[in-house]
Structures are given as structure tokens and as C-alpha cells.
Copies of this chain bind each other. A is one copy, B any other.
Amino acid sequence: MNIMDFLAPRYPLLIVLSGPSGVGKDTVLRRLQARRLPLHFVVTATNRSPRRGEVDGRDYFFISTAQFEKLIAENELLEYSVVYNDYKGVPKQQVRAALASGRDVIMRVDVQGAAKIRALVPEAVLIFLNAESPESLQRRLSARDADTPESLQIRLAAAQREVEQATLFDYLVINREQAVEATVDKIVAIIEAEHCRVKPRRVEL
């Protein structure tokens, strides 16, 4: 090894943010986006129609069911879910293009999706976002007015099962209530530290 090898290209990272339902993943990503780092935020593709105010390419990529099924058939989705007729997934091409431009890529997936990505892209950086306590997670879930007490119980049980998957992940970040900027600071620190690794994680897609 030569001293000059240290100035080798900086390999962009694929960062996966996951965690139980209700933990605050979307808020954290919005605040991270506000920091204007050289970071590509993955936009999910879906076959449903845009709702009022939704913008193609910003909120989702709105594609047809036939286009979506073609992506599945060609193994061109990094991760996807099909619930009845509701298709959602991450096109590999979008991630490849962002990585090729040198930007790190960050995506939000549920815990099942993170396990799939770990298998498909072992070099991904997996961050598990958790609440500071079961009570805090319950408070966050109850704050969603769409939930009935029954659906809240189901969500809580699912969240507990999701927490059991945490050992799959590289990092755990506790998203304390009223401290979302501290959470974002930690994610930024993880990204910075990963870029200093002597053995970089080089993503192949």
C-alpha cells in the first residue's frame, strides 16, 4: 500500500433507515433532507394514482401496473411489496444512477424490507431507528388519529416483533421524543464515519 492509495475514490454508501412503525422515520428523513447533504433520497415507485398535491418523482414515481410487473419480472426492484393491488417498490436503476453520480443513497424501508436488502446488498449500511421505551412508541402510535384501539394493539405487537430483528442491523439510533435533531446528528455522524472506514463498503447493484 502506498500513501497515495488513501486518496482512492470515495465509495458512495447505500444507507437503509428502518425501525418499528411509528418510530418517526419520515420525520427524521425530512429533517435530514433539510441539511442539504450530497445525499439521494430514494423515491418509491407505485402503481396507484397520484393524490391531490402529490408530485411525480418527488412523492412517488407513478407508474402503471404493467410497468411495475415488468420491473419485477426483470429483477429490477431492490425491494418491493404487493398488498392486494397496491404495488410499491424501489427501482434499482434509480439507486444505481445516484451511486454512479457519487452521492450516498438513503432509503426508508420496513424491517422486513431491510432484511431483504441485507441479503441482496450485504454492503448496505443498515440503521435501526428505535423509540426510547415501549411507552414512548405507544405514545407515538396513539398520536396517529387514524388508529382504533384494536389497530393500535396490532401495530404495537408488530412493532415488538420488528424490534426483535434489530441484530440484523449495523447501527441503532434512539429517536428520543423532542430530540429529532440529535437523531439526525447521529445519522450524519454514522455516514461520516462510514466514509472513513479503512475497508470501505463498496455497493454493487
Contact = CB atoms under 8 A, between A and B. Distances in A.
Contacts of A137: 3
A132 B192 contact: no
Given A190-B193, A192-B189, A166 B6 contact: yes
A3 B171 contact: no
A166 B196 CA distance: 12
Interface string A26-56: 0000000000000000000000000000000
Given A172-B6, A174-B6, A190 B186 contact: no
Contact of A196 (B2, B164, B190, B192): B190
Contacts of A160: 3
A3 B166 CA distance: 9
A133 interface: yes
A198 interface: yes
A131 interface: yes
Q: How large is the interface on A (under 10, 10 to 19, 20 to 34, 35 or more residues)?
A: 35 or more
B3 A133 contact: yes
Contact of A188 (B130, B131, B171, B189): B189
Nearest to A128: B198
A130 B7 CA distance: 10
Interface string A173-194: 1100000000001101110111
Contacts of A167: 1, 198-199
Contact of A1 (B127, B133, B166): B166
A2 B198 CA distance: 33
Interface of A: 1-4, 6-7, 127-128, 130-134, 137, 160, 163-164, 166-167, 169-174, 185-186, 188-190, 192-194, 196-199
Query: When A and B form their complex, which 10 residue pairs have the shortest distance between CB atoms, in order from nearest?
Result: A193-B193, A189-B192, A189-B189, A171-B196, A190-B193, A3-B163, A189-B193, A169-B198, A172-B198, A3-B134
